[in-house]
Chains A and B, each alone.
Chain A
Amino acid sequence: MSEYKKPLPVPDPVTKPFWDSLKAHAAQIQYSPAADRYVFYPRNVCPYTGSRDLQWRPISGRGVIHAFTINYIGRNPGGGFSDVPYAVVLVELEEGARMMGNLVDVEPNPAKIKVGQPVELVYDDVTDEITLPRFRIKGG
């Protein structure tokens, strides 16, 4: 496998279960019973209630495009993103939380990408240790 040159996440103790779940191709995020809401990114105190009780639960992988952009220029933190243009999406998961990722399997063209389109999570094993979340437009 050729070396992956783009920035990689470095899991920390509280985010590690999320990154491990992606590696296992069975994504999980936290759920707060006190808030009856899902929480993302992972942390140790519920941002809605202040409760310490946060539980890991599987997610469906389904969501909708909440917002997106298409990067046309090469400059951004980390380098390695010379393969412009590409789409970055903010997905509102079915469970309510929002997750950033890239759109795959679609031309990075605003005529082809719309806020509100349904998407599903795909797992991108970029290295032996890290799997990144990407999204594919459903029915596309």
Chain B
Amino acid sequence: MAHALSGACAIVGVAESDEIGIVPNKSHLQLHAEAAENALAEAGLTTRDVDGIFTAGIQTTEIAEYLGIVPTYTDNTAIGGCSFVIHVGHAVAAIAQGLCSVALITHGESGRSRVGMPGRAPSGGRTLRGQFEEPFGLPMPVGAYAMACTRHMYQYGTTKEQLAEIAVATRKWAQLNPKAMMRDPITIEDVLKSRPIAYPLNLLDCCLVTDAGGAIVVTSLERARDLKQRPVRVLGFGESHDHTMISQMPDLTAGPGRISGQRAFEMAGVSRDDIDLAMIYDSFTYTVLLSLEDLGFCQKGEGGAFVSGQRTAPGGDFPMNTNGGGLSYTHSGMYGVFTVIEATRQLRHDYQDQGIRQVPDAKLAVAHGTGGVLSATGTVILARD
């Protein structure tokens, strides 16, 4: 029996800010606003139509004030880069219950240029992280991911070469994306020889730091079919989190993606084999490897073998991170919105005139975000209408 929320709503507009990458002349709010207006415009809507507002990183009151929106539904769930993926599910639930009719999920971050952004100060010793992690100089967030990765290597024999396969394959997708920041080809050796950051992660295992905005517009399926774009239905969604500090992660080799993924697939009523492309938040290569296992695309511990032989690259049998990912396309700090943007475009066949950039006959996609330090996840299953 189909879940009541499955397919009830659809994504009708997605967009980045006018510019992404190095944007020193715009504040984070400008990036939010550009992305929002671009996404609404491609849907054939305007800010006047929006009555549900979803964001993280700033308060919903800030971006709503900036855009002149007075919502009936407001959601400021902010648990890292996965928040925007989680917002999709929250938007579906709200719309299906009649609490709002047009949901705008908006993201904007001057991650690199820091225009208008608050400073990044340590927590000052009084917080739990300030007492139990900061005194030891764990570089954040990379050190937390690196630490978890050593456990996976110990338990399952995962190698740096296997992690590097992810970076190499993702860079190949970036070469097909004119908006991607890094487009020169790289090899596994290049990854292994890149600057060590926090053992076992090197520079090319780590995402970019850029300036970017992104936005998603969601409405009911019925309304979606009257708007400008081919709708992309939200078939299933899930969310969970099991720690905030890495020293408290119950299992460094397996995270809450096991919960959010299973719930999303169950709601959608589809199997892993039905998925045509996967957008998996790639803050670090390890994040992807862990996520693929947690989502059930392979057994726990077999992520390294799964990505080997460039399986996720263009032409491979598991297209993944087809925009070039956080590793090579853009990563503003909280990247999750871009997983949904790209999945939507692929399912609409927006790239059909761009050769192998378009996943052939793409009908079903998963978008999976990870936030904090492997702490929180959101998973959505999307379908071409």
Measured CB to CB, the residues of A under 8 A from B are 6-12, 15, 19, 41, 66-73, 75-79, 81, 86, 88, 90, 98-102, 110, 114-116, 132
Contact = CB atoms under 8 A, between A and B. Distances in A.
Contacts of B193: none
Contact of A6 (B137, B140, B148, B247): B137
Given A66-B252, A73-B197, A110-B199, A100 B136 contact: yes
A78 to B, nearest CB: 4
B355 interface: no
B132 A100 contact: yes
Interface in B185-239: 195-200
15 contacts: A7-B125, A9-B130, A9-B131, A41-B128, A41-B132, A70-B198, A71-B137, A71-B198, A72-B198, A76-B137, A76-B138, A76-B139, A110-B199, A115-B151, A132-B135
Given A69-B198, A98-B248, 15 more contacts: A7-B125, A9-B134, A10-B124, A10-B131, A66-B252, A69-B143, A69-B199, A69-B200, A70-B198, A73-B139, A73-B198, A77-B120, A78-B122, A88-B136, A90-B252
B122 A77 contact: yes
Interface in B98-156: 120-126, 128, 130-140, 143, 146-148, 150-151, 153-154
A78 B137 contact: yes
- Among A15, A72, A86, residue most surrounded by chain B Cβ atoms (within 10 Å): A72
A86 B198 CA distance: 10
Question: By DSSP majority rule, is chain A's interface helix, strand, loop, or mixed?
Answer: loop
A101 B133 CA distance: 8
Contact of B136 (A11, A67, A102): A102
Given A41-B131, A71-B198, A110-B200, A102 B137 contact: yes
A52 to B, nearest CB: 19
B246 interface: yes
Nearest to B120: A77
A3 to B, nearest CB: 15
Contacts of A116: 154
A18 to B, nearest CB: 9
Nearest to A68: B150
